[in-house]
Every structure is written in structure tokens, then in C-alpha cells.
Amino acid sequence: MLTQADSIYIDSGMNKRLSKEKQALVLAALCEGTPIRACARMFKVGKDTVHRLICETGAAFADYMDAEFRDLSCQRIEMDEQWQYVGAHKGRLPKNDKTKRGDYWLWACIDADTKLVLSHKIGKRDWITGYSFVADVRERRSQRTICPRIRSTSARTLVTRDTAMEPKQRYSASLSC
């Protein structure tokens, strides 16, 4: 948890910066669900400035998570995914479309007791993305603790191509308890 003494340094390489107070107000409005253009109008800043603030804050928090979220002693882990489309639904895209549009999934791992988000990943709903997501969760978990209870509705996609295994067996095999 960040205290007042700890702060995240965000560097954009630009001389003109929003004040810390205005950055906090913009981020708070975004967290409440305000669209980027509405934030830009409310705080009289450019929409590119709001987008840059989102990217810089996200990169800073990703660095923080990678550095600090290690050796976590989680007893109950919940893994889930959420669907979203970018630009168009997969079914409406042309077959030879090579852009980065279509269906994307947010993969999230949450400690059920503390509600801490251990890991997250954005990508397609395929075996490669699922395997790298579970590997990241495995690296963050403490090896000294007993095997955690894992609950998921998508075990078949997350872990393995082997269809002979039951979903619970796949998870225990993938996290190598």
C-alpha cells in the first residue's frame, strides 16, 4: 500500500505537466467511469493528456506490482476472465483483417480473502495467454505456503490442452503445489 511518503514517479519527457492535484482529480473521475473526452472537458486538458496520464499511471502500477507482489501467502485464489471487444466484434471483422481489433479478454486473479488482485493479463482467449497468466500467478505465490484452493469457471481454457483431465486436476497440476 502506498503511503504519503511513497509516491510513484511518472515521467513523460514533457516540460509542461499537470499538477499532482489535477492528476489525482482526473484519475478519480476516470475511476468513477467518466469517459476520457468528458474528463478532458471537465478539467480543461487535452484528451491526449488524459490518455498519456492513464498510460503512465498504468505503467507505474505494473512496475510496482512486479516488484512488490512476490511471495504472497494466499489461501483462496479466484481466477476469472471478462470479455470485451475492441473496434468490432470478432464475427463482424473481415476474415483477412490483420489489425488488433476484435475480441479481447481480461484475465484476473484475486485473493478471495483480501480482495487483492494478484495478477492480470489482457489478451486473446487461447491456451498461450492462459498458460502465461497461470505462470505469472505461480511466480507471485509463496512456495512456503500450502497449496491454495483455486476457484475458476474457465479451467479448461486457462491451463492445458489435455481434454482427458478434469478441470480441478488441471489447476492443481498447473500451479505445482
83 and 147, same domain (yes or no): yes
Question: In this predicted structure, what is the pLDDT of residue 163?
Answer: 40
Tally of domains within the chain: 2
80 and 41, same domain (yes or no): no
Between CA 17 and CA 19 the distance in angstroms is 6
Bigger pLDDT: 12 or 104?
104
110 and 134, same domain (yes or no): yes
Between CA 77 and CA 59 the distance in angstroms is 25
> What is the domain-level CATH number for residue 109?
3.30.420
Domain boundaries, position 155: 76-93+101-174
Q: Is the pLDDT of residue 52 over 80?
A: yes
Q: Is the pLDDT of residue 43 over 80?
A: yes
Q: How does pLDDT run across 18-39, given as a tens digit for each residue?
A: 899 999 999 999 999 999 999 9
37 and 124, same domain (yes or no): no
Bigger pLDDT: 125 or 177?
125
The answer as to whether 3 is a domain residue is: no
Q: Is the pLDDT of residue 101 over 90?
A: no
The answer as to whether 139 is a domain residue is: yes
Tell me the H-state helices in the chain: 20-31, 36-43, 47-68, 127-140, 155-158, 167-174
120 and 162, same domain (yes or no): yes
The answer as to whether 7 is a domain residue is: no
pLDDT band with cut points at 50, 70 and 90 for residue 10: low
The answer as to whether 156 is a domain residue is: yes
What pTM was estimated for this model as a whole? 0.65
How does the average pLDDT of the chain come out, rounded?
Answer: 79
Q: What are phi and psi of 78, to 5 degrees?
A: -120, 130
Question: In this predicted structure, what is the pLDDT of residue 50?
Answer: 95
Q: How does pLDDT run across 121-165, given as a tens digit for each residue?
A: 998 888 898 899 988 988 888 776 666 677 776 655 454 443 443
**Residue 43: how many other CB atoms lie within 10 Å:** 15
Question: What residue type is assigned to position 41 of the chain?
Answer: R
Q: How does pLDDT run across 71-90, given as a tens digit for each residue?
A: 888 888 888 888 888 888 87
Joined grid coordinates for residue 90: 470478432
